[in-house]
Amino acid sequence: MIGKVKKIVIFVGLLVLCLTSSCTKQKEYNFMKIEWSNKLVMPDVNGKENCGTAGAYIGINNDHLIIAGGAFFPEDTPWNGGKKHWSKDVYVLPLEERTNNWKVLQNTLPQAIAYGSSVSTPKGILCIGGSDADKCYDNTYLMTYENDSVEFVPWVSLPYPLANCCASIAGNTVFVAGGQKSMTDGEASHSFLSIDIDRPEEGWKELPNWSGAARGYAVGVAKYIRGETLFYLFSGRNYGANITPTVLFDGHVYNAISSEWKKIEGNFPLMAATGIGLNNSDMILLAGGTDGFVFTKEMELKKKISNYIDNKALNDSVIQYKNELKFFFEGVTGFDNIVRLFDVSVNRIVKEESMPYPMPLTTTTVLSGQNIYIVSGEIKPGVRSPHIIKGSF
């Protein structure tokens, strides 16, 4: 009888513990109510309305939001003959003033560059790799803002050029994953690197590969939680000269202590999205992304054009498919406008929220106190947004 009572007491205790834990988590999910606005807008330049940028270096230093470089189409969309511009301009916004009082520093970047990665660190904003129209770069810089000027200090070069990679920081460790090493027949990679920002002399370390496909345009978020440094890798796409481009929906997590990867169960339509770990929380915020429909349709039509373009007898078909591609692009109203919360304690998405604003791709999310900033980026094919989406919680 006593044994039976003990079993009942243990069962009830465990049930209460489970319910309490569940209720606590549910309260945390409910507490993560974020108020969003898009009132912040990048400033006009030379009397012209700012069209925004994609693939810029973005970070926070000395309470200033900094946007450096990136690429955009200043005149028209590419299918209407618009040419991509690679920028050297830098924009600085003081966050403490709560105004739209931007400082514009034209031609300040050491080179016109886009599609690298950037991480806000205590030492400055670490700008990592990137590309222009011709090549990928292995350069890194520490970008700082002081006395009304931005300084770029060359830092530890990557072991090889890298663009369209993702990067994040936990504690002193910066992680960089995926991307491509060349613009000529660019191929997605399994690159996975880390560096200790307090020990740059030790250089970049090559880390074990994840078990899934190579990728670029992925989301990478590092978190230090309960004594473990973890790096989460979501989605992206695999591509290359001899590879059929494939949008990826998988997720993986790397444990820096065990040096092991584990696959995360679930479906993550987050190609070219952006993410960040929220402070003092198990949550990762994942913003935007795409299920790949636009990209897949684009590749399908471009392949048809490529197959017919060298055959003059099929010129009418080439024109037809070019017009079809143009019509398709102009009909795209945007990408995924969903913000998701991923809980690292259960390794799954626990909350989704549809946004009232177009959500950008190929950008970086940064965090300052209780404020999240999703900065500029591409809101539909060939179109950037000058808006900074701000979330307060």
Pull the structure tokens for residue 130.
Answer: 């990137």
Lowest mean pLDDT among 28-32, 63-67, 178-182, 389-393: 28-32
Burial class (CB in 10 A: 0-12, 13-18, 19+), 114: buried
Supply the pLDDT for residue 307: 80
Supply the pLDDT for residue 36: 96
Residue count (the chain): 393
Please determine, for residue 76, whether its predicted confidence score (pLDDT) is greater than 50. Answer: yes
Average pLDDT of 346-350? 97
SS3 readout for the chain: CHHHHHHHHHHHHHHHHHHHHHHHHHHHHHHCCCEEEEEEECCCECCECCCCCECCEEEEECCEEEEECCEECCCCCHHHCCCCEECCCEEEEECCCCCCCCEEECCCCCCCCECCEEEEECCEEEEECCECCCCECCCEEEEEEECCEEEEEECCCCCCCCECCEEEEECCEEEEECCECCCCCCCEECCEEEEECCCHHHCCEECCCCCCCCEECCEEEEEEECCEEEEEEECCEEEECCEEEEECCCEEEEECCCCEEEEECCCCCCCCCEEEECCCCCEEEEECCCCCHHHHHHHHHHHHHHHHCCCHHHHHHHHHHHHHHHHHHHHCCCCCCEEEEEECCCCEEEEEEECCCCCCECCCEEEECCEEEEECCEEECCEECCEEEEEEC
Supply the pLDDT for residue 247: 96
Q: How confident is the model at residue 99 (pLDDT cuts 50, 70, 90)?
A: confident
Residue 179 or 241, more confident = 179
pLDDT in tens, 285-299: 999 999 888 988 888
What is d(CA 105, CA 129) in angstroms, rounded to the nearest whole number? 21
Q: How confident is the model at residue 111 (pLDDT cuts 50, 70, 90)?
A: very high
φ/ψ of residue 18, rounded to 5: -65, -45
pLDDT in tens, 316-335: 788 888 888 888 889 999 99
Supply the pLDDT for residue 313: 64
Supply the pLDDT for residue 322: 87
Most confident range (mean pLDDT) of 98-112, 266-280, 289-303 is: 266-280
- The CATH classification number of 34-290+335-392 equals 2.120.10.80
CA dihedral 370→119→50→136, nearest 10 degrees, is -160
- Rg of the chain over all Cα atoms, to the nearest angstrom: 22
Lowest mean pLDDT among 197-211, 283-297, 302-316: 302-316
Please determine, for residue 308, whether its predicted confidence score (pLDDT) is greater than 80. Answer: no
Residue 348 or 27, more confident = 348
pLDDT in tens, 153-165: 999 999 999 999 9
Give residue limits of the domains in the chain: 34-290+335-392
Please determine, for residue 70, whether its predicted confidence score (pLDDT) is greater than 80. Answer: yes
